């Protein structure tokens, strides 16, 4: 069944025990995000904060809406205990049957409209998510909608937007993103403003497809319809011809300026660390805001996995890379980017392998962008979704000399039962040792080390103490 909106989805999560409504007042400044971050790290529920400091009753924040595979299953209309491989296969099967959206004259997102001097994004409880972030963020778990003015192709992406004041935001789309590509070529080059819509609180599957990497010219709204098994209802924006989800909670309309830049960040990033300092971002001038009464702002407290970002990216990246490898005639059985690997680690199963196939896989996966920098190739007898099997294969079938740079172990010291060693190596107990150094280089100055984006590291002691003290009072176990 397709959920009409985020509210129906929250009710479904509440019934399965995957959402808690936090009735105690929480502060938008760090507290709400810190609670959400700890809930991720303890495999806790999604959290709907119903009382936010400095805001009137009804203005709410939702954190962790798809932070577990249980919640992804619920969003797909499956039982929450559905096994991960089945969730992936159901997603893949639906994804291949896109359904065009329908345009409706109006929708719940139009219940309230801000224009002109009334515009103020800080009317909504935009949170300060990590200690040390560059500012409050109105857009984290969002959908960013833009359109190619020449072809009419509408793109949905997920990029963060930081608040500078009630009317000015800065964003940080990656240079290779579809948004950045169209903005550079079709707007900056012609010194024209680019219409944009920043959507919060849409159907959960709409947010999921916004994280995916569909090809140029493919509308994500069609694939959201595929996952929902029903068309997405869209309505025209107030100040542009963009079409936005009619049942969204908040839609911030704006224009990206071709001749302006502004500071954005720093931010606790998706790999689980905050790296770098403030960077140069694109500038968005808000032109209107439409929203539902008693609006819900969707938020992700990014950090160490598993969270909404790593779970969604695991699914969308796995499917995209599987299709790419199959197009290149790689004998793939399945592909899995474990959520814990934050799209830096990929497991590829093949019907027949060897060094040549492994190198071909590496070349294909990294041809466009080398975000995935660790690839494990396994035989068909290994379930790529079962990390116990993957680790076992890595331990006993990955040769430490032929595949990676290693130091040789003197004869007589290697394990004679290790399957990847040759008969000659086993006879002489000769093998190798591989070292994976996961420590910071000691020559790096201490004040330049990335800050780990975890509850215990990125929040000040007083916030940690407050959250832990009030844990049960929040309604959490």
pLDDT at 31 > cutoff 70: yes
pLDDT for 437 equals 55
The Cα 107–Cα 113 span in angstroms is: 12
* Local confidence band at 418 (pLDDT 50, 70, 90 cut-offs): low
* Local confidence band at 459 (pLDDT 50, 70, 90 cut-offs): very high
- The runs of H, that is alpha helices, within 211-255 are 220-228
How far, in Å, are 279, 402, 414, 430, 436 from residue 408 at the CA level?
44, 11, 10, 8, 15
When pLDDT is averaged across residues 347-362 and rounded to a whole number, the result is 85
Residue 457 per-residue DSSP state: H
The Cα 74–Cα 82 span in angstroms is: 9
When pLDDT is averaged across residues 100-119 and rounded to a whole number, the result is 98
Segment of 190-199, 272-281, 449-458 carrying the highest mean pLDDT: 190-199
For residues 418 and 39, which has the higher predicted lDDT (pLDDT)? 39
* Local confidence band at 404 (pLDDT 50, 70, 90 cut-offs): low
Q: Which residue is it, tokens 């009072």?
A: 473
Contacts of range 23-27, beta carbons closer than 8 Å, 24 or more positions apart: 23/50, 23/51, 23/475, 24/51, 24/470, 24/473, 24/474, 24/475, 25/51, 25/52, 25/53, 26/51, 26/52, 26/53, 26/61, 26/474, 27/52, 27/53
**Lowest model confidence (mean pLDDT) among 92-106, 289-303, 337-351:** 337-351
Kindly report the backbone phi and psi dihedral angles of residue 271, in degrees, each rounded to the nearest multiple of 5, phi listed first: -70, -5
pLDDT for 439 equals 58
When pLDDT is averaged across residues 443-465 and rounded to a whole number, the result is 87
pLDDT at 406 > cutoff 70: no
8 Å CB contact between 260 and 34: no
**Lowest model confidence (mean pLDDT) among 28-42, 263-277, 395-409:** 395-409
**Vertex 94: Cα angle to 207 and 150 (nearest 5):** 60
When pLDDT is averaged across residues 233-238 and rounded to a whole number, the result is 98
pLDDT at 433 > cutoff 50: no
User: How do residues 47-87 score in pLDDT, each as one tens digit?
Assistant: 999 999 999 999 999 999 999 999 999 999 999 999 999 99
- The runs of H, that is alpha helices, within 366-436 are 387-396, 423-427
Q: Is 291 helix (H, G, I), strand (E, B) or coil?
A: strand
Kindly report the backbone phi and psi dihedral angles of residue 256, in degrees, each rounded to the nearest multiple of 5, phi listed first: -85, 130
pLDDT for 435 equals 43
Residue 72 per-residue DSSP state: H
When pLDDT is averaged across residues 223-248 and rounded to a whole number, the result is 97
pLDDT for 405 equals 44
pLDDT for 407 equals 45
| Backbone region of residue 17 per phi and psi (left: phi > 0; alpha: psi in -120 to 50; beta: other values) | left
pLDDT for 409 equals 55
| CATH superfamily to which 84-299 belongs | Electron Transport, Fmn-binding Protein; Chain A (2.30.110.10)
Q: What is the pTM of this model?
A: 0.89
pLDDT for 434 equals 46
When pLDDT is averaged across residues 327-337 and rounded to a whole number, the result is 95
In percent, how much of the chain has pLDDT > 90?
71
The Cα 192–Cα 154 span in angstroms is: 18
pLDDT at 190 > cutoff 60: yes
In percent, how much of the chain has pLDDT > 70?
93
CATH number of 309-398: 3.40.1670.10
> 460 Cβ partners below 8 Å, 6+ apart?
30, 131
Domain boundaries, the chain: 84-299, 309-398, 399-446
pLDDT at 417 > cutoff 80: no
Q: Which residue is it, tokens 């300060």?
A: 128
> 391 Cβ partners below 8 Å, 6+ apart?
none
Length of the chain: 477
pLDDT at 386 > cutoff 90: yes
When pLDDT is averaged across residues 249-257 and rounded to a whole number, the result is 98
pLDDT at 468 > cutoff 90: yes
For residues 423 and 148, which has the higher predicted lDDT (pLDDT)? 148
8 Å CB contact between 59 and 294: yes
User: How do residues 271-287 score in pLDDT, each as one tens digit?
Assistant: 888 876 788 999 999 99
User: How do residues 8-30 score in pLDDT, each as one tens digit?
Assistant: 999 999 999 999 999 999 999 99
Please classify residue 115 by burial: count the beta carbons closer than 10 Å to its beta carbon, then call 0-12 exposed, 13-18 middle and 19+ buried: middle
């Amino acid at each position: 069944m397709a959920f009409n909106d985020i509210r129906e989805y929250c009710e479904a999560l509440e019934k399965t025990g995957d959402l808690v409504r936090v009735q105690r007042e929480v502060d938008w400044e760090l507290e709400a995000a810190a609670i959400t971050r700890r809930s991720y790290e303890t495999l806790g529920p999604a959290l709907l904060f119903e009382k936010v400091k400095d805001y009137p009753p009804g203005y709410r924040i939702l954190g962790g809406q798809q932070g577990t595979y249980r919640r992804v299953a619920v969003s797909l209309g499956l039982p929450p205990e559905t096994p991960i491989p089945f969730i992936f296969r159901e997603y893949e099967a639906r994804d291949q049957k896109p359904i065009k959206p329908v345009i409706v004259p109006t929708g719940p997102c139009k219940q309230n409209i801000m224009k002109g001097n009334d515009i103020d994004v800080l009317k909504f409880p935009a949170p300060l998510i990590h200690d040390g972030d560059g500012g409050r963020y109105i857009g984290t778990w969002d959908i960013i909608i833009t359109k190619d003015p020449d072809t009419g192709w509408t793109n949905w992406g997920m990029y963060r937007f930081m608040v500078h004041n009630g009317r000015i935001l800065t964003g940080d789309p990656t240079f290779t993103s579809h948004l950045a590509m169209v903005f550079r070529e079709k707007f900056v080059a012609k010194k024209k403003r680019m219409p944009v819509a920043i959507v919060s609180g849409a159907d959960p599957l709409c947010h999921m497809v916004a994280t995916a990497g569909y090809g140029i010219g493919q509308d994500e709204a069609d694939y959201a319809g595929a996952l929902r098994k029903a068309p997405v209802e869209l309505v025209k924006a107030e100040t542009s011809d963009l079409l936005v989800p009619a049942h969204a909670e908040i839609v911030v309309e704006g224009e990206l300026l071709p001749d302006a830049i502004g500071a954005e960040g720093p931010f606790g990033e998706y790999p689980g660390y905050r790296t770098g300092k403030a960077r140069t971002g694109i500038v968005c001038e808000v032109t209107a805001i439409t929203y539902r009464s008693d609006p819900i702002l969707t938020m992700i407290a990014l950090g160490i996995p598993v969270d909404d970002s790593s779970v969604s990216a695991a699914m969308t990246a796995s499917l995209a890379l599987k299709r790419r490898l199959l197009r290149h005639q790689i004998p793939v059985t399945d592909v899995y980017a474990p959520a814990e690997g934050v799209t830096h680690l990929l497991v590829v199963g093949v019907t027949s392998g060897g060094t040549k196939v492994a190198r071909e896989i590496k070349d294909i996966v990294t041809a466009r962008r080398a975000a995935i920098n660790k690839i494990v190739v396994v035989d068909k007898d290994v379930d790529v979704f079962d990390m116990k099997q993957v680790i076992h294969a890595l331990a006993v079938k990955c040769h430490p000399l032929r595949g990676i740079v290693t130091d040789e172990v003197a004869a007589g010291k290697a394990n004679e039962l290790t399957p990847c060693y040759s008969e000659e190596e086993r006879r002489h107990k000769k093998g190798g040792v591989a070292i994976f150094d996961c420590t910071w280089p000691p020559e790096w100055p201490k004040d330049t080390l990335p800050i780990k984006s975890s509850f215990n590291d990125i929040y000040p002691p007083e916030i940690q103490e407050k959250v832990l003290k009030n844990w049960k009072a929040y309604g959490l176990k």
